[in-house]
Amino acid sequence: MKIEIKDIKKSFGDKEVLKGVSFEAESGKAFGLLGRNGAGKTTSIRIIMGVFYSDSGSILVDGKPIEREKLRIGYLPEERGLYPKKSISEQLVYFGMLRGLSKKDARLAASEWIDKMNLGEYKDKKLETLSKGNQQKIQLAVTLMCRPELIILDEPFSGLDPVNAKLLKDIIKEMIDEGAAVIFSSHQMNHIEEFCDDIAILNHGTIAISGNIREIKRSYPRNTIEIASDENKKISALVLKKMAGDIEEVSEDEKSGILTVKLRSPDIKNKLIREISDEGLDIDSFMVREPSLSDIFVEYAEGGI
């Protein structure tokens, strides 16, 4: 299944929120929709879900206009939408029935997801008595218990400790492996890199950059080398002596012990390796430094609201 968002535009009064946004998500993959607050992410998500409609543009599923009544969509909002005074079992059954399950199937699904989330001891507890992290796990169970074909996750790891974050990661990866299409929105770039192959960064209602994360990173200049070695001082002296005309900068991070060599051209990498090797200096690692996704996000989302 392929879901295409094509040239979506949306205004509220005189404010143009989306100015022709396009991206796509596919079954068995996660897509990262990124942007600062106010960039247009939530508006895009709400249009996909049919909460309100775009002024122009289209949403296609396998090349045909989306029929939301036929497409199982699971949405995890950043702000929780559950009932604090109700037990978690009662809520899961209720939301399962809202999504079209019979009462019997909803009870079975509720029991399954309570076990999957390791919350059996809390099944009859009111939601408000649970920790923030456990409430987030219940919210995710509500999102996934009807086995959606399209899963939209907005800050899914908010409030989770590392153990529960790993549990949720495993569950989301399982859903992706089973063929769900996932649209992932988060300000935690490490999670985006872990799940997503492709991203789009929104800035003021337009796509500032989109594509495969790996390809985006490789499009940046590849002239900064990071070297890990116990002989950094010798390496630094060597390159400054023998490659002075080829080097822009040499610096060492005292905390990490990493030596950074910025070359005038990425084509000089092999020459640098040869010079170090010819001297018989020991190297633990030699790698091209690529920008992190956080670096890319700051570059393209800077200036957002």
Domains of the chain and any CATH numbers = 2-217 (3.40.50.300), 221-289 (3.30.70.100)
Q: How confident is the model at residue 152 (pLDDT cuts 50, 70, 90)?
A: very high
- Separation between Cα atoms, residue 257 and residue 5, nearest integer Å: 46
Phi-psi label, residue 38: left if phi above 0, alpha if psi -120 to 50, beta otherwise: left
| b/e map 168-204, b = 16+ CB within 10 Å | bbebbeebbeeebbbbbbbbebebbbebbebbbbbbb
**CB-based contacts of 8: which residues, under 8 Å, 6+ apart?**
18, 20, 21, 22, 44, 47, 54, 56, 57, 58, 59
Q: Is 294's pLDDT higher than 80?
A: yes
Q: Identify the pLDDT of residue 305.
A: 39
Two tokens at 49? 């879900």
Over residues 81-114, the pLDDT tens digits come to 788 999 999 999 999 998 888 999 999 999 999 9
- Separation between Cα atoms, residue 43 and residue 22, nearest integer Å: 13
Q: Is 304's pLDDT higher than 50?
A: no
Q: What is the mean pLDDT of residues 259-266?
A: 91
Over residues 154-198, the pLDDT tens digits come to 888 877 888 888 988 899 899 999 999 999 998 889 889 988 999
Over residues 207-257, the pLDDT tens digits come to 999 999 999 999 998 899 999 999 889 999 998 888 888 998 999 888 888
Entry pTM: 0.84
**CB-based contacts of 79: which residues, under 8 Å, 6+ apart?**
none
